[in-house]
Structure formats: structure tokens, C-alpha cells
Structure 1
Amino acid sequence: MDWNRVEGNWKQMKGKVKEQWGKLTDDDLDRIEGKRDQLEGKIQERYGYEKDQARRDVDDWYGRQTW
């Protein structure tokens, strides 16, 4: 599966994203609109992660989702 599934179901996914990354605000999630690169960027900004760490975290989170 690809990231399009997350983008298409973003309203439902926002809760799961917020559970994983609680420092992200509702405004952050509204601006991200399901776009992976924006999610990774906000994770970097809020958590002080390097780009590779944010990408790995998103990959791990995505792999744990049950579709």
C-alpha cells in the first residue's frame, strides 16, 4: 500500500497520528492534510529530529497501521 491511503483518509487518520506524535497540534494536522513530507517536517520541527529519524518514525508508524 502507498501513502495515498493515508491522504484519502486523513480526517480519520489524524487521531492516530496525534496518538503517536502528541506534540503536533490540531492546526499542524490541518495544515499537513495527509501529505507525508509535511508530516515529516512537522515531526522534525516539534521533536528536534533529523530528517532520517522523522522518516523512520513515519515508516514505523505506517507499518503498524491495520488497514
Structure 2
Amino acid sequence: MNWDIIQGKWKQLKGQAQEKWGELTNDDLDQIDGNKDQLAGKLQEKYGWTKEDADKEINDYFRDK
């Protein structure tokens, strides 16, 4: 899915994102506000992933949304 569409639907998708990545808080998701780079940064922080791993995880998850 195009990331512009994800940003537009972020309020609807953030609940699904929190189910997928349970370490992310509501405050984290509100701060991210659909920004892919911020989401990747939070995933790196919470899970200890590299930027490449976080980007792959995000792309894999949102590919079918």
C-alpha cells in the first residue's frame, strides 16, 4: 500500500499496528502519526532492531493493508 494512504488512514490502522507491535504505546502511535520513519525509529528503540529490519517489518506488514 502507498504510504500516503497509510498516513491518511493512520487513526484506523494504529490499533492494528499496536496489536502487531505490542511494545508501542498509544502515546508512541499518536506521536508517529503515520510517519514511516518515526515508526521505524520507535520499532528500533523498542525491539532493538536495525533500521533495515524495522523497514522490512513495516513494509511486510503494510503491504496488504
TM-score range, shorter chain: over 0.9
Quote the RMSD (CA, aligned, Å): 0.8
Distance in 2 (CA, whole Å) between partners of 1:10 and 1:2 is 12
What residue is the counterpart of 1:56 in the other structure?
Answer: 56
Q: Does 1:7 align with 2:7?
A: yes
- Percent identical pairs in the alignment equals 48
- How far does residue 36 in structure 1 lie from its aligned partner after superposition? 0.4
SS of 2:63's equivalent in the other structure is helix
| Paired amino acid for 1:51 | K
Per the normalisation by structure 2, the TM-score is 0.95
Unpaired runs of 5+ residues, structure 1, are none
1:9-59 residue CA offsets vs partner (Å, 9 max, x unmatched): 111011110011000000000000000000000000000001100000001
State the aligned residue count.
Answer: 65
- Paired AA for residue 3 in structure 2: W
Instruction: Output the CA distance in 2 between the equivalents of 1:24 and 1:5.
Output: 21
CA distance, structure 1, for counterparts of residue 34 and residue 44 of structure 2 = 16
Taking structure 1 as the reference length, the TM-score comes to: 0.92
